[in-house]
Structure 1
Amino acid sequence: MKNYDLFIGVDVSKLKLDITGIDQDNAIHLKHCVIRNDAKEIKKYFRKMLKNQGKPMIVGFENTGVYSALIAFVLQELGIDYCQLPSLEISRSRGISRGKNDKIDALKIAQYLLSHRFKISLSTVTEIHLTEMRLLYTHREKIIKSISQYEKEFENTDFLPREIQKEILKSTNSILKSLHANLKKIEDRLGVILKEHAAMEKNFKLITSIPGIGKQTALYLMIVTKNFTAFKEARQVACYAGVAPFPYQSGSSINGRTKVNNLADKKLKSLLNMCALSANKYDIELKEYFQRKVGEGKNKMLVLNNIRNKLLARVFAVINRQEPYVNLRKYAA
């Protein structure tokens, strides 16, 4: 980590950015100001700052999705070090506090940067094709949810006269036809993006060579790991997905059971659960493992969670080796 002289906290909202800067002595070096959350305005402000300050600086702001995308792109373009921080991490670092406003939040982010300067990792803008994949995947999920909702309309056909539902069913069929057409376009575009990037296409094929892991799980894993550059090992992804167990113990009075944490990517956890169920059904090795552990008296969900972790370990194994999964049981037999 570089030795920074200026720590700048930015509170991001839809229309504006609140900015405050402090030095290494926690003294206000950059008075609070407000600028529009607009690429031109952000670029103008930080260019002026680079010209006037001339000091090593780092900028920190909460990851607010699309609202924080502009400042991230501008800072990377200008070559300014920055860090996107989880909102929960910032709020918990504040300790006991009463009330809040954007000015105070910007200062707290700057103070967080100062106090954690030896621990924080610099952020980079996600590659354009990965950002597009994330947006397409999210849109695909919305369409699938809409299809499921509209298909429920047909449940009423057995209980009400068809004349009453005629117009509703006609409209529903039209909407479903359009949704399915758009779903196919999105899936085709996702396939095109993979083909345009050889490294991603290869990783996709490697992941789907593992029994139990399907195309959608493989795509989502590549999106959240930024094509396996954001995480170094399977245990980190297991923690991110909420399938890594943690102890709950303190002194002699508190000795709770080891369990997974609720802070997780619930979508990834759900996908891994479906993969574990599929692998338990079709992968002989994991099926025997499940039956053996349950026979020993282990909780079924605990064993299933172990299978989720085993699948993640297999994913990182094939990615690191750059070779497809090999079922050794075939050769052992």
Structure 2
Amino acid sequence: MNGMTDCNWVGIDVSKAKLDVARLDDKGKLKSHVFNNDAIGFAALLNWLSQRGCTQPDTQICTEATGPYGEALCTFLCDEGWTVSVVNPARIKGFAQSGMVRNKTDKADAALLARFAQTMHPEPWTPPPPEVRELRALVDRLQALKDMHQQEANRLEAALNQPSMVALIEGHMQWLKDSIKELENQIDDHIDRHPKLREDASLITSIPGLGNTTAAKVLAYLGDVNRFKNAKALAAFVGVTPKIKESGSSVRGRSVIARSGHAAVRHALYMPAMVALRYNPLMKVFAERLKSDGLAPKAVIAACMHKLIRQIYGVLKSRNAFDATILGNRLDFQDGI
């Protein structure tokens, strides 16, 4: 939109069933409309934008990262050639607070997103390739099955004095266990069928502490790490950077991780970090130094997660396997690590 005199900023508040859309022009005029969150609604949205003089070169569309509800829309718009930015909700919340925004409705949120795009010019979003989208769907389904298996295990403990109920739960748990194994094999086959995914998985698993399960999650949720300028940017995206609270001479708050990034990736790295600080010689030295400095055990694990995400960025960016001579021979880990 550089050099354009007529510009449009479009904010879209996404929910499960509908899209609240606000179009802001360079004269400050705002127009709003609501569309269904489906293929028919997507087509109607494009028609509505066209009727209001919005063209692809002079329009920036902005929405929040809302998981599965907004991904289909953003992918559709990008495939049609529109510039779309997908923004962390924490940034939108901070922008609203800085502007003393008091109303919290879907219509107001859409207008807020349009004003955010006009003021902040967020980076364009690039949809992941089809093979990564499919991998993410498989990984999400696998995690859902594992969660259901754990829920049934909890119910089994509560039903030990009811033999008929125990049999039903155990039958369902066995079905879940078989489905989990089948889906794990499907994920492995999917990665093997795509050379780029296969090579990336091999690089990630060359890092001591990271196995196939973690590699699949990292590839599914992070996509191409080249979209990050450096390892620090990737760590901030995941949410494992330290959040320091200091002010003047009296405020010395305890540092914690930001937790404003990708929760699923943080969850995927928690157990590998625990394994790495136990079995990885250099990570053990790193952890002991942090403990001696007075860091709490969970803070040490968070620091190890931060170091792991930097190592992941390093091997994927350089296209070189992790140097096993530094950390010792590569270890094989159990499922889930």
Q: Which amino acid aligns with 2:252?
A: N
Indicate which of 119, 122, 127 corresponds to 1:115. Answer: 119
Alpha-carbon shift at residue 202 of structure 1 (Å): 0.7
Q: Which amino acid aligns with 1:316?
A: Y
Q: Secondary structure of 1:125's match?
A: coil
Q: Secondary structure of 2:84's match?
A: strand
Residues 209 and 273 in structure 2, CA contact (< 8 A), matched pair in contact too: yes
5 Å-filtered alignment, 1:256-275, equals: 256-275=253-272
Mapped partners of 2:286, 2:12: distance in 1? 50
Deviations 1:167-207 (A, max 9, x none): 22221222112111211221122112211210111110111
Indicate which of 218, 221, 229 corresponds to 1:221. Answer: 218
Indicate which of 103, 109, 114 corresponds to 2:107. Answer: 103
Residues 206 and 324 in structure 2, CA contact (< 8 A), matched pair in contact too: no
Residues 257 and 302 in structure 2, CA contact (< 8 A), matched pair in contact too: no
TM-score (norm 1): 0.84
Q: Which amino acid aligns with 2:221?
A: V
Alpha-carbon shift at residue 329 of structure 1 (Å): 4.6
Indicate which of 302, 320, 323 corresponds to 2:320. Answer: 323
Percent identical across equivalent pairs? 23
Counterpart of 2:332? none
User: Is the aligned partner of 1:147 residue 2:149?
Assistant: yes
Deviations 1:296-319 (A, max 9, x none): 666544444333333223222222
Residues 37 and 70 in structure 1, CA contact (< 8 A), matched pair in contact too: no
Residues 62 and 86 in structure 1, CA contact (< 8 A), matched pair in contact too: yes
Alpha-carbon shift at residue 59 of structure 1 (Å): 1.5
Residues 276 and 308 in structure 1, CA contact (< 8 A), matched pair in contact too: yes
Mapped partners of 1:299, 1:101: distance in 2? 40
Counterpart of 2:331? none
Mapped partners of 2:226, 2:82: distance in 1? 21
Larger mean Cα displacement after TM superposition, 179-188 or 253-262: 253-262
Mapped partners of 1:194, 1:51: distance in 2? 44
User: Does 1 or 2 have the higher relative contact order (CA < 8 Å, sep 6+)?
Assistant: 2
The unaligned stretches of length 5 or more in structure 2 are 329-337
CA pair 308-122 structure 1, distance change in 2 beyond 3 A:
same
User: Is the aligned partner of 1:312 residue 2:282?
Assistant: no
Residues 235 and 310 in structure 2, CA contact (< 8 A), matched pair in contact too: no
Counterpart of 1:43? 43
Counterpart of 1:11? 13
TM superposition outliers: structure 1 runs of 4+ over 6 Å: none
Deviations 1:127-177 (A, max 9, x none): 2222222222122112112222323455468x74xxxx3322221222112
Alpha-carbon shift at residue 226 of structure 1 (Å): 0.8
> RMSD of aligned C-alpha atoms?
2.8
Larger mean Cα displacement after TM superposition, 19-28 or 104-113: 19-28
Alpha-carbon shift at residue 213 of structure 1 (Å): 1.1
User: Is the aligned partner of 1:22 residue 2:30?
Assistant: no
The unaligned stretches of length 5 or more in structure 1 are none
Q: Secondary structure of 2:255's match?
A: strand
Counterpart of 1:241? 238
5 Å-filtered alignment, 1:41-190, equals: 41-47=41-47, 49-50=49-50, 53=53, 55=55, 56-95=58-97, 96-117=100-121, 120-155=122-157, 160=161, 165-190=162-187
Counterpart of 1:286? 283
User: Is the aligned partner of 1:192 residue 2:189?
Assistant: yes
Alpha-carbon shift at residue 116 of structure 1 (Å): 1.0
Mapped partners of 2:296, 2:33: distance in 1? 56
Mapped partners of 2:312, 2:221: distance in 1? 14
Mapped partners of 1:304, 1:103: distance in 2? 41
Residues 244 and 256 in structure 2, CA contact (< 8 A), matched pair in contact too: yes
Q: Secondary structure of 1:94's match?
A: helix
Mapped partners of 2:203, 2:141: distance in 1? 25
Q: Secondary structure of 2:209's match?
A: coil
CA pair 285-330 structure 1, distance change in 2 beyond 3 A:
closer
Larger mean Cα displacement after TM superposition, 213-222 or 37-46: 37-46
Mapped partners of 1:218, 1:48: distance in 2? 42
Alpha-carbon shift at residue 237 of structure 1 (Å): 2.9
TM-score (norm 2): 0.83
Alpha-carbon shift at residue 7 of structure 1 (Å): 1.0
CA pair 240-295 structure 1, distance change in 2 beyond 3 A:
same
